[in-house]
Amino acid sequence: MRVTSSGKIRRSAAHWRVICERFVQSRLGPKEFCQREAIALGTFKQWYPRYTESGA
């Protein structure tokens, strides 16, 4: 994970895979999970389908 000069957080695909695994284990809804993890819901919604399509 790195922070850009504009202050945005950049996460690797591997980091998103871990986040998605935590989401599944949490049994929370996407909105609640993202609030708890301080993740933008829109970004999560872009990455989660990639995780599920990868056979996870």
User: What letter would DSSP give residue 16?
Assistant: H
| pLDDT score for 22 | 97
| pLDDT score for 56 | 62
Do the Cβ atoms of 22 and 37 come closer than 8 Å?
yes
Higher pLDDT, 7 or 50: 50
3 beta partners: 9
Residues in contact with 47: Cβ distance below 8 Å, sequence separation at least 6, in sequence order: 16, 19, 20
Does the pLDDT of residue 54 top 80, yes or no? no
What's the average model confidence in pLDDT over 17-37? Answer: 97
Q: Which of 45, 51, 52 is nearest to 14 (CA)?
A: 51
**pTM, whole model, 2 decimals?**
0.79
